[in-house]
């Protein structure tokens, strides 16, 4: 095999300007040795051949040597060697430096036996023209030129191996980076699984303990009211009956909150529904609870990352819960817009605004919304609405994110 199987021709290995610099140095040395006595016509031919050598090195390698093809490589070296032989002959053996870049290129892309054969050709290309003009120093000059070729071969081999080592290090670094990315992804998935399990455990605990006790209390209060009615004590103790009725109403409200909390803790509150369907179901649930909610949704058909859709659903759920608990509002306007680079959610109520003292539950709810927004690198703004009530605005990126909710 002529071309080396594990190497590709890379001009950067020998430097993009190695051949033109070497050619210029060779021509300067040749002019010092020969001077104007060589003749204007000979110098014109030498200059043209030098330009051809440089152009072939700059532009011919992309055609002949990339990708490495044995027959194209042979053609490339044949043309370059022919040019150098003619230059050597006209220049009376004083342009031998032009052969050194060819030796380096051969040691770069040829197999070892092909490199040895080509070096013998280069030695002949140096000695034959020199012998035609000066046969006396042929042995000494041959030894010097042969040592130069060996030095170029060794130096090039070291450079090639150094470059291969750097490429191997870069490859390993890329593989390590990919492995780290996969590890981070696996860690995020493991963390999400742990969070999901913990949320499900808390949901079961709330449902089985607090939900059970509130259900029992509601049944007992219902029994107490029925007992008062059956004994005819309702008219005799109206205050007691009213207190029982209020306690039962509060118990039912607490049960409803427990159900909502359990639903919020579930891993996938939307279930098998699409985002649009889940939002409409959430809006309808709040309407049934007595809150007039107007929904406007634009661009929801666009595919957003599941993390973004889940975060928007949770934020809207929490915002509507806060409105019911604290805002004393009768109307809420909800706007969802997916048309831009950021998904935008706007919730505006006609309640009492932010001037009221916030209790712990509301603060916790708003903090949860802010944490979700920050994890997805979004923005959140909440302020009093000029027309009364509160305006909550959230923007989340629509592109894929690695955040885990």
First to last CA, the chain: 58
- Mean pLDDT lowest for which of 2-11, 89-98, 217-226? 2-11
Report the run of H or E that residue 18 belongs to, with start and end.
helix 18-34
The share of the chain scoring above pLDDT 70, in percent, equals 81
Cα separation of 178 and 186, whole Å?
A: 12
Section 264-288 average pLDDT? 78
pTM of the model: 0.42
Section 365-385 average pLDDT? 85
The pLDDT score that the predictor gives to residue 404 is: 43
Neighbours of 105 (CB within 10 A): 25
Query: Which residues contact residue 242 at a Cβ distance below 8 angstroms, ignoring those fewer than 6 apart?
Result: none
**Pick from 310, 300, 392, 378: nearest CA to 339:** 300
- pLDDT 10s digits, 20-32: 888 888 888 888 8
Q: How confident is the model at residue 6 (pLDDT cuts 50, 70, 90)?
A: low
Section 232-249 average pLDDT? 78
The pLDDT score that the predictor gives to residue 107 is: 84
**Pick from 211, 223, 218: nearest CA to 248:** 218
Question: Interior CA angle at 47 toward 44 and 51, to 5°?
Answer: 140
Cα separation of 355 and 352, whole Å?
A: 7
Cα separation of 332 and 345, whole Å?
A: 13
Cα separation of 270 and 274, whole Å?
A: 7
- Does the pLDDT value for residue 220 go beyond 80? yes
Cα separation of 199 and 26, whole Å?
A: 79
- Does the pLDDT value for residue 14 go beyond 60? no
- pLDDT 10s digits, 82-139: 998 888 888 887 888 888 888 888 888 888 888 888 888 888 888 887 777 665 577 7
Residue 296 exposed, middle or buried by CB count within 10 Å (0-12, 13-18, 19+): exposed
The pLDDT score that the predictor gives to residue 245 is: 82
The pLDDT score that the predictor gives to residue 61 is: 61
Residue with tokens 């973004």, as numbered in its chain: 308
φ, ψ for residue 274, nearest 5 deg: -75, 165
The pLDDT score that the predictor gives to residue 381 is: 92
- Does the pLDDT value for residue 11 go beyond 90? no
**Pick from 3, 6, 117: nearest CA to 69:** 3
The pLDDT score that the predictor gives to residue 3 is: 55
- pLDDT 10s digits, 158-207: 888 888 888 899 999 999 988 888 888 778 767 766 776 777 677 767 76
Cα separation of 52 and 49, whole Å?
A: 5
The answer to whether 79 and 115 are in contact (CB under 8 A) is no
- pLDDT 10s digits, 312-370: 988 998 888 888 878 888 899 999 998 888 899 999 999 888 765 444 444 556 777 88
Give the DSSP letter of residue 96. Answer: G
């Amino acid at each position: 095999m002529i071309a080396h199987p594990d190497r590709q021709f890379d001009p950067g290995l020998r430097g993009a300007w190695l051949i033109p610099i070497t050619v210029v140095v060779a021509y300067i040395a040749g002019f010092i040795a020969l001077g104007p006595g060589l003749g204007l016509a000979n110098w014109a031919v030498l200059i043209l051949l030098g330009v051809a050598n440089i152009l072939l090195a700059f532009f011919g390698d992309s055609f002949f040597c990339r990708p490495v093809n044995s027959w194209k490589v042979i053609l490339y070296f044949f043309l370059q060697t022919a040019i150098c032989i003619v230059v050597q002959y006209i220049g009376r053996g004083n342009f031998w430096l032009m052969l050194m870049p060819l030796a380096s290129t051969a040691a770069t892309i040829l197999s070892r036996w092909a490199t040895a054969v080509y070096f013998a050709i280069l030695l002949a290309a140096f000695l034959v023209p020199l012998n035609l003009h000066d046969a006396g120093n042929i042995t000494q000059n041959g030894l010097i030129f042969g040592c130069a070729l060996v030095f170029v071969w060794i130096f090039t081999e070291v450079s090639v191996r150094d470059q291969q080592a750097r490429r191997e290090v870069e490859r390993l670094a890329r593989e390590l980076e990919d492995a780290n990315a996969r590890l981070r992804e696996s860690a995020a998935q493991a963390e999400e699984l742990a969070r999901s399990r913990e949320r499900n455990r808390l949901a079961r605990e709330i449902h089985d303990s607090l939900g059970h006790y509130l259900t029992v209390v509601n049944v007992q209060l219902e029994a107490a009211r029925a007992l008062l009615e059956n004994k005819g004590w309702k008219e005799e103790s109206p205050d007691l009956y009213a207190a029982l009725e209020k306690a039962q109403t509060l118990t039912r409200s607490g049960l409803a909150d427990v159900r909502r909390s359990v639903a919020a803790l579930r891993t996938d509150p939307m279930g098998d529904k699409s985002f649009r369907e889940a939002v409409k179901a959430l809006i309808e649930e709040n309407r049934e609870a007595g809150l007039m909610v107007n929904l406007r949704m634009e661009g929801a058909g666009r595919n957003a990352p599941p993390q973004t859709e889940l975060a928007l659903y949770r934020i809207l759920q929490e915002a509507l819960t806060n409105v019911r608990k604290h805002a004393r509002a009768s109307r809420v306007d909800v706007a969802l817009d997916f048309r831009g680079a950021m998904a935008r959610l706007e919730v505006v109520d006609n309640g009492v605004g932010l001037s009221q003292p916030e209790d712990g539950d509301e603060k916790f709810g708003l903090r949860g919304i802010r944490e979700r927004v920050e994890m997805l690198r979004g923005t959140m703004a909440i302020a009093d609405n000029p027309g009364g009530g509160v305006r909550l605005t959230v923007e989340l990126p629509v592109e894929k994110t690695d955040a885990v909710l």
